[in-house]
Chain A
Amino acid sequence: MRTPVSVKLVAGLGPRGWLAVAAVLVAAWVLVPLAHLMLPEGHPLHISTYAITLIGKILCYAVVAVAMDLIWGFGGILSLGHGLFFALGGYSFGMYLMRQIGRDGSYGADIPDFMVFLDWKELPWYWSGTDSFLWCLLLAVVVPGAIAWIFGYFAFRSRIKGVYFSIITQAMTYAAMLFFFRNETGFGGNNGFTDFKRILGYSITAPETRVVLFGLSVTLLLGTLILGKALIASKFGRVLTAIRDAENRVMFIGYNPLHYKLFIWTVSAMLCGLAGALYVPQVGIINPSEMSVANSIEIAIWVAVGGRGTLVGPIFGAGIVNLSKTWFTTSFPEYWLFFLGLLFILVTLYLPEGVAGLWAKIKARRAEKAAIAAARAEAAAVPAAPRSPAAPESKLPNGTAAKGA
């Protein structure tokens, strides 16, 4: 008998996992709002608006990083176009925010300011229904999903993979960026959407709104993680990982990789769209530069820094890279690109498993040391005791076979 997914999900995370989830949720929905709203400005535990916005932004990036890990870490597909799906989600939700400005724009018109500027009289057809919150939220998921599905279907069907696929996704986001830069496209051209006033009738700059958005970001991230874990733990995830490791063999067994790749690719794009939709109200602007080639490659480095195929690692990767970006660009703006460039090089050269891998390595080494110490203690008592099988030869402290292995 098959176990329902929901049961597997609950069972899969285990009691400790669910406890951690609950703890994070309590912190996000109770402690952070308290620290932001209740504590006075000078209080050491007060969380400033800046910090909340910054962390909220990074949480959205972290969702994108986890989504990227799903396809790159488990599917072996490196997308250099995920910025497009993120931005499409942002634009979809941004349309709702633009409509919420109502007549409070500089021109006091019913249509957004940039359309007045273009001398348009009414909204183009694709803006219809965008005054509805739910419709825009739906668009933020469906539009990136649909585009990813169409693109992925044709790409995976002709078995484009590896660097070919990466470069073509890059070309895709580049073309989309050029398209959105045009004023005639109807998405504000160069400037994109900005000057948002309210969301669901609440002021977008009010501390309460920010706190709610922050809580939603945390929840989305947790949801993404749980979904990702469930997907990976399922039979689907096993096949996906097998495709990553040896696509031809999986095909010979009788699976069609197209469906597996297409599914995870579309899910990943949809998650990016949701993250984008949450990102825009927190940051207050969306413009075509979000689709730039550099942005999409940066997403890959978040995952690489955090550790591919670990799901949790990319969250730390997104955090580390973006916090250092904030710090560098304010303190030493001219060295940020050097840092980022070196990060790309050094991580791929020396940290192929990322921070999560480093953590695992340190843990393994500790266990090894403990094992050796135990073995020595044993050896002192009983001579010629066998070595611990958990410790491979080359990783021994004075290992002679380390070089050239």
Chain B
Amino acid sequence: MKRLLLILSLALGLGAGAVRADVAPEVLKGLASEDFDAKQGAVAALASVGDADAARLLKALSDDAVAVAGDKLVIVAGEQVLDAANGKPLKPAASPDSISLNNSLRQQVDGALAALRLLSADKTERLAAAKALLADMGDGAALLPLFDKALKQEQDGEIKTILVQLQAQASLSSPDAAARLQAVQTLGQSASPAVKALLLPLIEKQGDTFAEPDEKVRLAAQTAIKAIDGRLVWSDTAGQIFTGISLGSILLLAALGLAITYGVMGVINMAHGELLMVGAYSAYAMQALFRSRFPDFVDYYVVAAVPVAFFVAAAVGMLMERTVIRHLYGRPLETLLATWGLSLVLIQAARLLFGAQNVEVANPAWMSGGVQLAENLSLPWNRLVIVAFSGFVLLVVWLLMNKTRLGMFVRAVTQNRPMAGCVGVPTARIDTLAFGIGSGIAGLGGVALSQIANVGPDMGQGYIVDSFMVVVLGGVGQLAGAVWAALGLGVVTKFLEGWAGAVIAKILVLVFIIIFIQKRPQGLFALKGRFVD
């Protein structure tokens, strides 16, 4: 209380005086004193003055270059000794004796230095300083006069808004109930979760008494929190829908390939997740290649990884089809086991080749960062790119399936294998090619996954169940079904996760799918035609 009065009186006194004056002698005396409270008061006063002399002195304080020489406070700069009051060189009367700072004082000095940048002439520096203070203000009350001053000078609208918020935040701990009330009302205009967290303690009870003694302020805080919540709901919902869509697009990439292979051959490829892993490691390998060979283009390794991953995964898939799956036609359950064996071999091979630890795949510069849509809603670029990428893959697959001869053959084999064979479709070759395409798409999914998830030997294990659920839900051999099922599952899962936690969400989705199959065993979009098993 006493300290605050001191600061206020000092600030007022100095503010009224000439702008280009030496640092006031009371402040120098305070700094030179042995009492840490006095020192704190002096630093706060320096911060609120905020002119060049004060800034120099603060900088010197933070560098431990301030010393007492006789009756004068000096700054030791190498060989030179400067007068702390005005920065002029002087001959010290006695040898300088450095003054000591404790931790809280040092924090205060750093905070004051940061706050002083609010007065800088450079707009970007002011903005950066304001944002930094918003994230971590330290002892706000001491900086309050500085905020007032900065607000008076500030012309830029954006910085002004932040300054108003800073000012309000700082006044929350003011002893004056009216000032607190005003601060709460100002903060109520915001839409940021951080502000909400700041207001929450005000309405909490500590033991029997409220943390905030004044009832009016408490009521105002309650209204403010409600107002902020109202603003947060929309951006929260939008954010959840977006993460849901981004999860859905990953599921779609994983499920598209599975839908093709399951549709054509009626076998579940349990190694499908491992083909995702192959794609992700292809991205890793391309990153390593670009880093060593073409360091100038390292940001574009992802672009190069797309075709590489497709062909590597397709080659692995075709090899699997030729060597194992082909020989198990008509035995779908055993194919399940054999492909599980293949997945174990692939996992162990990845462990031996790349090590058992996760490898680091970095986002290229153009994919990091995000689009800030609201205070608490920012869409990361990497997820946006993935959503767009899966849309692109979907388009290509659609064209391939509906506009090419190969696609027609694949659809024919899916619908009726013996009949397609009778009219001359080379079913065996179509099987291999379809399996290659499905595996290649999984490889593409792996590249996408490498940008948002850990890349490790067993990264693919978790995806087989989810992507099969998409196929079940969407109906076999139906692109439209796969799309709706993937996006729907993604969004529903994310909403359930927000509401009940990840584990319960998983169980609920499973229960939902089982109930769904009761009603529509053929999936959302049934294939037209006659079937008998």
Contact = CB atoms under 8 A, between A and B. Distances in A.
Nearest to A158: B518
B333 interface: yes
B344 A340 contact: yes
A157 B469 CA distance: 19
Given A170-B465, A248-B532, A301 B344 contact: no
Contact of B348 (A78, A293, A341): A341
17 contacts: A157-B518, A162-B332, A162-B333, A163-B268, A164-B472, A167-B464, A168-B513, A171-B513, A175-B510, A179-B507, A337-B345, A340-B341, A342-B345, A344-B338, A344-B341, A349-B328, A352-B331
B343 A172 contact: no
Interface in A339-386: 340-345, 347-349, 352
Contact of B334 (A159, A181, A304): A304
Listed from nearest, the 7 A-B pairs whose CB atoms lie closest are: A344-B341, A341-B344, A341-B345, A337-B348, A345-B341, A348-B338, A341-B341
A58 B81 CA distance: 84
Interface string B506-533: 1100100111011001000000000011
A348 B337 contact: yes
Contacts of B341: 301, 340-345, 348
A380 B452 CA distance: 78
Chain A binding surface SS class? helix
B124 to A, nearest CB: 47
A162 B330 CA distance: 11
Nearest to B343: A341
Contacts of B513: 168, 171
B384 interface: no
Interface residues of B, number: 43
A171 B342 CA distance: 20
Contacts of B352: 334
A17 B533 CA distance: 39
Contacts of A181: 503
B465 A167 contact: yes
B298 to A, nearest CB: 33
Contacts of A171: 465, 469, 510, 513
A103 interface: no
Contacts of B515: 154
Nearest to B270: A297
A174 B502 CA distance: 13
Contacts of A341: 341-345, 348
B348 A352 contact: no
A345 B323 CA distance: 10
Contacts of A179: 503, 507
Nearest to B352: A334
B348 A344 contact: no
B192 interface: no
A304 B347 CA distance: 22
Contacts of A349: 324, 327-328, 338
A330 to B, nearest CB: 17
Given A167-B268, A175-B507, 9 more contacts: A157-B518, A158-B518, A171-B513, A179-B507, A334-B348, A338-B348, A344-B340, A344-B342, A349-B328
Contacts of B347: 337
Given A162-B333, A163-B268, A163-B332, A345 B342 contact: yes
A338 B267 CA distance: 23
A166 B333 contact: yes
B254 to A, nearest CB: 14
A320 interface: no
A278 B500 CA distance: 35
A231 interface: no
Interface in B346-380: 347-348, 351-352
Interface hub of A162, A171, A178, A300 (most chain B Cβ within 10 A): A171
Given A168-B514, A175-B510, A340-B341, A160 B348 contact: no
A301 B270 CA distance: 14
Given A337-B347, A349-B338, A78 B333 contact: yes
B328 A178 contact: no
Contacts of B521: 158-160
A147 to B, nearest CB: 13
A2 to B, nearest CB: 35
A178 B351 CA distance: 25
A72 B331 CA distance: 13
Contacts of B334: 304, 348, 352
